[in-house]
Structure 1
Amino acid sequence: MRRAAAAALLGLLLAGCATFPEQGPREWHEQLEGAGELGGPPVVPEPSPPPQTPPQPGQEGQGGEQQQPSGCEDPDPQVVATCLDPVGAIAVLPDAETALVGERRTGRVLRVQQDTEPELVATVPVDPSGGGGLTGLVLSPSFVEDQLVYAYITTPQDNRVVRLAANDPPEPVLTGIPRGATNNGGALAVDDDGSLLVATGNAGQTDPAPASLAGKLLRIDAQGRPADGNPDPVSTVLSSGLQAPGGICVDPARGTAWITDRRAGEDALHLVVPGPLPAPAWRWPDRPGVAGCAALDGTVAVPQVQSESLFVIRSDVNNLFVGAPEQQLQGAYGRMSAATIAPDGLVWLGTINKAGGEPVPSDDRVIRIQPLSAGGDNRQ
């Protein structure tokens, strides 16, 4: 079993973080069914050693020995929820203390909060084959008023976007996204003007047709229609050329969006622009398994499944990456996938150790990472 003290990270993420209304969400009740041109060099250097940080409260026993999880009890103060199925997506609620978590294989959506048992709020029927299932989750741009949540799912017929409301069955928003034997996963985000960004896999197709919704970045409104400002006003397509997207992250301080993609021969991070995907802003020839991403004020953090770490890079005002990247949380939580930024600037991550990793008794877990304090101590 692996344990490690949670690493301090992303101090810069506190600067310029988004603000949200103070109103909390209404209660949901259980529903049982229903050298790139952007800066460089864009290649990964040798990883830096994991930072050494003081032990976290609750992680040391007598004599300095680390406490290990016992069943679903995890002494790590950064762990918010335990004993989940592999986590496909996370959406943090406006209170910054609670999140909705989607399990990829089961389609369950659970409400999680530290020191509270996860609460089942919806079950979305999904087909997890070919990397599909429930792989995207995002709050409505007007969540405080409408309490709606959007999910990207795979069904036996297609991949699609559905809308979730408390006590109601999933409502289709955008259907007919091709599914195939591989690359069915997708991702969701909300851009800076409130439109929904939808990343779709290529469903195993080498070169999907321009009219196909496979391998695209779509931009739609709340009803699934083309969003205002798309390159083609009658098309949902904003960009093309994706293969197996892992996550989309919108930087609320800058309004820029990034997308990760697991490509043939390399993993890549792209800056989102209309039209065909540009050259990668960063590329990983060793293919560490890039997954979700989180961005704030020029810092981009990318969980990597195979390397079991969080890759952090920083960009200047021109979105050119500067300084040395950091490889953080090396081996601390195993295989991490989903990532998002909370309204208070903290980073939430989900693990997928039950899907090919080496799970500890409390896996799979949702983790909330505390940024580095001014004094360099990550303890709370």
Structure 2
Amino acid sequence: MLLSAALLAGAGCARFDSAQSQPFTTEPQLAPGPTSTPPPPPPLPAKPFPKECPAPGVMQGCLESTSGLIMLPDSQSALVAERTTGAVKQVSVRAEPIQKMMIPVDGSGDGGLMDIVLSPTYTQDRLMYAYISTPTDNRVVRIAEGDPPKPILTGIPKGATGNTGSLIFTSPTTLVVQTGDAGNPAQAADPGSMAGKMLRIEQPTTVNQAPTTTALSGLGPGGGMCIDPSDESLYVTDRTPTADRLQRITKDSQVSTVWTWPDRPGVAGCAALDGTVLLNLVNTKQTVAVRMAPETGAVTGDPEVVRQDQHGHAWALEVSPDGNVWGGTVNKTSGDAMKLDDVVFPLFPQGGGFPRANDEKT
């Protein structure tokens, strides 16, 4: 397959952590996902659309540093969030970008517009949820296009650093929020603090919101979350003072550490399918694949580097409906941006889609 040419040597800086599984605080209700599909066609058209920003080999360039990324049903367009500006833009391989909304945020430090997610019933309600920083806190807001953001969950601790987090719907009615430790790891262990937690919001609403429940504690700054639709496992990445890590929460509510990186390469967004988790390592400009045996869930080998340096520092990873994988870069805030950064790019520009199992690579 064409994919094999893109695969590089394994990441030697990682180590397996055999931490024992721990019970999940409350059982997650994970939404079923699509089944595996044949490899999709290449994600980019043979003749690029003549854009004002001529960044080559990408969906869109000339963005500010990105955060949340949502692939749209046509697999050729996306909603992308700019962390420092609060802008949400619709980008496409065949059209100029359109700014859909501007969310007021405090983009200082590592805060700002940190993630976006669509309502599970978006086609009916047209609602989006965002995880943002204000001058006083981090919070979750709900946005209807054309209306100001309305708070869903406020008072999440904010620090000079340690604010990054993520959002994911694990069922049609359950929104999970990954919060950073606000630069104070002690808060992550404090049951009275919302910092460094995975918080569950049931039936998110702007009026009389039910109290959140804590699904997981002790998290460092995110990171990201992703669900493997093949077995409904939820994966979360975070950065602790001693190591970066990838954790797994199974359908039967068991929590385990899948892998740790003592050299702390900057774990970020992830995408999962059929026992393989792709995740971005921001500091080392890599995307790696962590593969697990379907029978046991045990890691089958060192993380495999599937992207090295191309497009630079990447944060978000998303799978489009056709099975291709897309990323968003953070080069402007990482300090070594090129002229046409930042970009939304295909992880495998020749096509082939999500790399799932070792025996599929020929």
Q: TM-score over 0.5 for the alignment?
A: yes
Within 2, Cα distance between the matches of 1:331 and 1:241? 31
Report the CA distance shift for 1:7/1:124 in structure 2 as closer, same or farther (over 3 A). Answer: farther
Deviation at 1:211, TM superposition (A): 1.9
Deviation at 1:277, TM superposition (A): 9.6
Tell me the number of residue pairs that the alignment of Structure 1 and Structure 2 aligns: 311
Aligned position for 1:372 = 352
Which amino acid in structure 1 is aligned with residue 352 of structure 2?
L
Which residue, out of 214, 217, 225, partners 2:198?
217
Report the CA distance shift for 1:214/1:277 in structure 2 as closer, same or farther (over 3 A). Answer: farther
| Superposition pairs of residues 50-61 of structure 1, within 5 angstroms | none
Pair 1:333-2:314 in alignment: no
**RMSD of the TM alignment (CA)?**
3.0
Which amino acid in structure 2 is aligned with residue 306 of structure 1?
N
Which amino acid in structure 2 is aligned with residue 218 of structure 1?
L
Aligned position for 2:228 = 251
Within 2, Cα distance between the matches of 1:200 and 1:249? 15
Aligned position for 1:105 = 84
Aligned position for 2:32 = none
Pair 1:188-2:183 in alignment: no
Aligned position for 1:309 = 286
Pair 1:348-2:332 in alignment: no
Aligned position for 2:67 = 88
Which amino acid in structure 2 is aligned with residue 37 of structure 1?
S
Give CA-to-partner distance per residue, 1:43-98, whole Å, 9 cap, x none.
xxxxxxxxxxxxx9989xxxxxxxxxx9820231xx10110000011011233222
State the SS of the aligned residue for 2:151. strand
Within 1, Cα distance between the matches of 2:340 and 2:4? 15
Report the CA distance shift for 1:336/1:300 in structure 2 as closer, same or farther (over 3 A). Answer: same
- Contact 2:83 / 2:107 at 8 angstroms: preserved in 1? yes
Give CA-to-partner distance per residue, 1:81-138, whole Å, 9 cap, x none.
1100000110112332221110000000001111311100110111122311111111
Within 1, Cα distance between the matches of 2:120 and 2:259? 29
Within 1, Cα distance between the matches of 2:217 and 2:250? 10
- Contact 2:159 / 2:183 at 8 angstroms: preserved in 1? yes
Give CA-to-partner distance per residue, 1:148-176, whole Å, 9 cap, x none.
11110000111011112111111111111
Within 2, Cα distance between the matches of 1:101 and 1:269? 24
State the SS of the aligned residue for 1:292. strand
Q: TM-score, normalised by structure 2?
A: 0.78
- Contact 1:6 / 1:369 at 8 angstroms: preserved in 2? no
| Superposition pairs of residues 160-171 of structure 1, within 5 angstroms | 160-171=139-150
- Contact 2:202 / 2:212 at 8 angstroms: preserved in 1? no
Aligned position for 1:62 = none
Pair 1:118-2:97 in alignment: yes
Within 2, Cα distance between the matches of 1:128 and 1:36? 34
State the SS of the aligned residue for 1:211. coil
Report the CA distance shift for 1:57/1:165 in structure 2 as closer, same or farther (over 3 A). Answer: closer
Which amino acid in structure 2 is aligned with residue 244 of structure 1?
P
- Contact 1:149 / 1:165 at 8 angstroms: preserved in 2? yes
Q: TM-score, normalised by structure 1?
A: 0.75
Deviation at 1:263, TM superposition (A): 1.0
- Contact 2:178 / 2:222 at 8 angstroms: preserved in 1? yes
State the SS of the aligned residue for 1:80. coil
